[in-house]
Amino acid sequence: MPPGCEGSLTLTVKVGVSPEPGVLRELTSLMYRYREALNYAIRVVIENRALSLGRAHRLLYSTLKEGYDLPSKIAVDCYREAIAIAKSWLGNPNRGRVPRAKTPRLWLTNKYSYRIRDGYVEILGGYRLRVTGWDRRYDGYPSGDARLLFKDGKLVLEVSKRVPRPPKYSPKGVLAVDVNERYIVVGNSQYECRFETPIERALHYRRLAENLQRKYSLTRYSAWLRRRGIRRRVGYFYSKARRVVEDWAKKVSHKIASLARQSQYAVAREDLTGLVESLRKLPREHRVSLLILSYRRLEFWVDWQAEKSGVPLVVVEPRGTSSTCPRCSSKLVEGGYRRVRCPRCGFEADRDTVAVMNIEVRALSKVGGSLTAPTAPQMTDVAPNRCGEPMSPLRGAHAL
Ligand SMILES: [Zn+2]
């Protein structure tokens, strides 16, 4: 996105809701039916390329209404959602299998299928849900369509909001982001801060899942594997590992965006596509797949947080960022544990510090004229963590 781009952003506000007594069973039963109906509708829409409302209606309406027992308006919402999902899947050149909805849900068209009034969400069909809390920062903006999800035994309403895209300031400097297996290093030639990656914590849950699977895949346990309890527990550990990565990526990127904003800096990150591609060629093990996930989610959240808070973003070519001298561009030589040295000018630093400085230099040359590259001081003794303060709790768009 070019800097200073006009327009608006769509973000999701989560609204915690709790159903009136007696409503939960009936509502969730509808949500389970809706999920099955949606998966059916997605297949039909894709197979027939029925991307117009008229065609989808003819192909699906009566089946959704009678076969899946959906109220008429909900049946319409269902094929509308199927069309939206099919369109985004068909538009993705790297698409995998046909998408399937896993979480029981309802898609709700604004004003027709739901409204929020007097502390209650009212849903078509007469369901009333008490609102228990939400992120009030976006109250002033109009609500769009919403999804009601049933996750971990709780109902959550996700309401989409359209908010104006904040204007981007012109940066006074660059905050570079470098990633490696253990740390995210954030900084420039004056400042440096490290965040541990979530790999070890996420691995812990993957291992628990795997141990459980291994234990119950023995022939004498094969009956156990079919037992719902064990499968659910394994699934829980896998999703917990993913959630650890997601929460971490959100928090770290939020921190990065606010650091940049405070100093009116641009955020510069490497283009990690090549790194992710090279990781994909490695044997498929948990560590590798978690690294890929972490890098991708971090990229996504850094870009989104920058967009949302008006921070200019620069993406730089990653080649050689940790092996080139940031002062004189000579090739650096190894100097012991993770340290590198320049044979020409004598510059010496930690490999990650070097990467951050090089990303800064590259970003500055991309941002161009208004900025001059600062003279890089010799950083031979960078403290492993100079962030000083603990990370602030997440207050992103997806928080309650
Ligand atoms: Zn040098």
Let me know the angle formed at the C-alpha of 36 by 132 and 247, rounded to the nearest 5 degrees: 45
| Closest CA relative to residue 41, chosen from 128, 99, 127 | 99
| CB atoms closer than 10 angstroms to residue 35 | 21
Q: Write down the pLDDT at residue 388.
A: 39
Q: Write down the pLDDT at residue 377.
A: 42
Interhelix angle 53-62/72-90, nearest 10 degrees: 130
| Closest CA relative to residue 150, chosen from 21, 22, 10, 33 | 33
Which residues are bridge partners to 158 per DSSP?
A: 14, 147
Q: Which residue has the tokens 């076969």?
A: 67
Q: How far apart are the CA of 193 and the centre of ligand 1, in A? A: 23
Q: How far apart are the CA of 189 and the centre of ligand 1, in A? A: 15
Residue 26 near residue 71, CB atoms below 8 Å: no
Q: How far apart are the CA of 334 and the centre of ligand 1, in A? A: 13
SS3 readout for 14-35: EEEEEECCCCHHHHHHHHHHHH
Q: How far apart are the CA of 328 and the centre of ligand 1, in A? A: 4
Q: How far apart are the CA of 299 and the centre of ligand 1, in A? A: 30
CA–CA dist 35, 118 (Å, integer): 29
Q: How far apart are the CA of 177 and the centre of ligand 1, in A? A: 21
Q: How far apart are the CA of 271 and the centre of ligand 1, in A? A: 24
Q: Write down the pLDDT at residue 376.
A: 42
Q: How far apart are the CA of 327 and the centre of ligand 1, in A? A: 5
Q: How far apart are the CA of 303 and the centre of ligand 1, in A? A: 32
Helix (H) or strand (E) holding 124: none
Q: How far apart are the CA of 172 and the centre of ligand 1, in A? A: 25
What b-and-e string marks burial along 52-68, b requiring 16 or more CB atoms within 10 Å of the CB?
A: eeeebbebbbebbbeeb
Q: How far apart are the CA of 221 and the centre of ligand 1, in A? A: 62
Helix (H) or strand (E) holding 271: none
Q: How far apart are the CA of 184 and the centre of ligand 1, in A? A: 24
- Amino acid identity, position 70: L
Q: Who's near 385: CB < 8 A, 6+ residues apart?
A: 193, 194
* Pure H helices in the chain: 24-48, 53-62, 72-90, 199-217, 222-225, 228-262, 273-280, 286-308, 351-367
Q: How far apart are the CA of 325 and the centre of ligand 1, in A? A: 5
Residue 314 near residue 266, CB atoms below 8 Å: yes
Tens of pLDDT, residue by residue, the chain (400 residues): 444 445 788 888 999 999 887 888 899 999 999 999 999 999 999 999 999 999 999 999 999 999 999 999 999 999 999 999 999 999 887 787 889 999 999 999 888 889 888 888 998 888 899 999 888 888 888 889 999 999 888 899 999 998 888 899 989 999 999 998 888 999 998 889 999 999 999 999 988 888 887 777 666 555 655 566 777 788 888 889 999 999 999 999 999 999 999 999 999 999 988 888 888 888 878 888 889 999 999 999 999 999 999 999 999 998 888 889 988 889 999 888 888 999 999 899 988 899 999 999 999 988 764 454 444 444 433 333 434 333 333 323 333 2
- Using a cut of 0.85, tell me whether the model's pTM lies above it: no
- Rounded to the nearest angstrom, the gap between the alpha carbon of residue 400 and the centroid of all alpha carbons in its chain is 16
Q: How far apart are the CA of 192 and the centre of ligand 1, in A? A: 20
Q: How far apart are the CA of 347 and the centre of ligand 1, in A? A: 5
Q: How far apart are the CA of 337 and the centre of ligand 1, in A? A: 19
Q: How far apart are the CA of 234 and the centre of ligand 1, in A? A: 51
Q: Write down the pLDDT at residue 226.
A: 59
CA–CA dist 312, 56 (Å, integer): 41
As to burial, measured by CB atoms within 10 angstroms (0-12 exposed, 13-18 middle, 19+ buried), residue 316 is buried
Q: Quick check: helix, strand or coil at residue 13?
A: strand
Q: How far apart are the CA of 332 and the centre of ligand 1, in A? A: 7
Q: How far apart are the CA of 386 and the centre of ligand 1, in A? A: 25
Q: How far apart are the CA of 324 and the centre of ligand 1, in A? A: 8
Q: How far apart are the CA of 341 and the centre of ligand 1, in A? A: 8
| CB atoms closer than 10 angstroms to residue 397 | 21
Q: How far apart are the CA of 353 and the centre of ligand 1, in A? A: 14
Q: How far apart are the CA of 323 and the centre of ligand 1, in A? A: 11
Residue 370 near residue 170, CB atoms below 8 Å: yes
Q: Write down the pLDDT at residue 307.
A: 92
